[in-house]
Amino acid sequence: MFEFLLLHLVVLIIFIIYVGPFILVLSSIIFVITRKSIDKFSKILIIIIILLVTFLLFITTIKFIYKPSEYYSKMEQVKNSKSIIGLTKEEVENELGKPGSIKKSENIYLYNAGTLMKEILFLNHDLWVKSHYYALFVYFDENDIVVSTKLKESLEFYVP
pLDDT band at 99 (very low <50, low <70, confident <90, very high): confident
Quick one: how far is CA 66 from the chain centroid? Answer: 6
Is the pTM above the cut of 0.85? no
Residue-wise pLDDT for 21-60, tens only, equals: 777 777 777 777 777 777 777 778 777 878 877 777 777 7
Helix H, strand E, coil C: the string for the chain is: CHHHHHHHHHHHHHHHHHHHHHHHHHHHHHHHHHCCCCCHHHHHHHHHHHHHHHHHHHHHCEEEEEEECHHHHHHHHHHHHCCCCCCEHHHHHHHHCCCCEEECCCCEEEEEEEEEEEEEEECCEEEEEEEEEEEEEEEECCCCEEEEEEEEECCCCCCC
Residue-wise pLDDT for 142-155, tens only, equals: 888 888 888 888 76
